[in-house]
Amino acid sequence: MKKIKYFYNANSLRYEKLETPLRVKLLRVLGFISAAIVTAVIIVSIAYRYFPSANEKRLQSQNEDLKDDYEVLQERTKKLQDRMGDLE
């Protein structure tokens, strides 16, 4: 249950109910939503920077495999060049 707020009116010497205008309520709601969105964007950007996605992990492992294959090919070409040098 919502707590009702009152304020003291010095002109009528009475306590009157405090009613917040719709504009103030909308500003509070929009402020909360914008703060939540900014916080979410910051968290997501940090998460993607330090924690790689599944696709990124797959690409990194594929890149490592290709580097290994490239090294094997380099060794083979080196051996073939040495053999060609021996034949000459």
Q: List the domain boundaries for the chain.
A: 22-51, 53-88
Mean pLDDT of 31-41: 98
pLDDT tens digits, residue range 50-74? 888 899 999 999 999 999 999 999 9
**pTM greater than 0.85 (yes/no):** no
Residue 27: predicted pLDDT: 97
Residue 2: predicted pLDDT: 78
Beta strands in the chain (DSSP E): 6-9, 14-17
Task: Decide if pLDDT at 88 tops 80.
Answer: no
Go through the chain and tell me how many residues it has. 88
Q: What distance in Å separates the CA atoms of residue 17 and residue 22, rounded to the nearest whole number?
A: 15
